[in-house]
Structure 1
Amino acid sequence: MLTIKCSGCKAKLWKYKKVGPGKVLRCHKARISKRFDVQERDGMLVCPCGREIATDMGRFYKMHADAFTHTGTKDTA
């Protein structure tokens, strides 16, 4: 389970079950288990500090690589 955080202010945004060893390029909505203070504005996910984190693409969020960090472990199975 990964904790996705804003790279600017380090605020927790959501908990995500990452499957596979690769980079976090997308976050599928069905795998997000808990949302914190993230806001949705004009098809974008925005941190409370104002940084745009991801774009809503329907079933998943397309992540902006320089806008977030993550901690935790990936499920490699």
Structure 2
Amino acid sequence: MLIIRCAACKRKLWRYDKIGPGEVLRCHKARIERTYAFVEKEGKLRCVCGKPIGIDKGSFYKMIAKAFTYSGTKRR
């Protein structure tokens, strides 16, 4: 499980089940285990502090690479 956080304010956004060793560039909505604090508005995903985090692409969120940080372990 990974904890995805905003890079600007360090607030938790969601807990995500990452499968595979690659980068976190897409977050599939079905793998989000728990949500904490984010706002989805006009197809864009923002932290409650106002910083853009990603773009809604239907079944997944396309993440902005420098807008978030994560901690935890990836599942192989």
Same fold, judged at TM 0.5 (above): yes
Q: 1:37: how far off?
A: 1.0
Structure 2 unmatched runs, 5+:
none
TM-score, with normalisation over the residues of structure 1? 0.97
SS at match of 2:66: coil
RMSD: 0.4
Q: How does 1:1-77 map to 2 (within 5 A)?
A: 1-76=1-76
Q: 1:50: how far off?
A: 0.4
C-alpha separation between the residues in 2 aligned to 1:31 and 1:59? 10
C-alpha separation between the residues in 1 aligned to 2:65 and 2:13? 15
List 4+ stretches of structure 1 deviating above 2 A: none
SS at match of 2:27: strand
State how many pairs are aligned.
76
TM-score, with normalisation over the residues of structure 2? 0.98
Structure 1 unmatched runs, 5+:
none
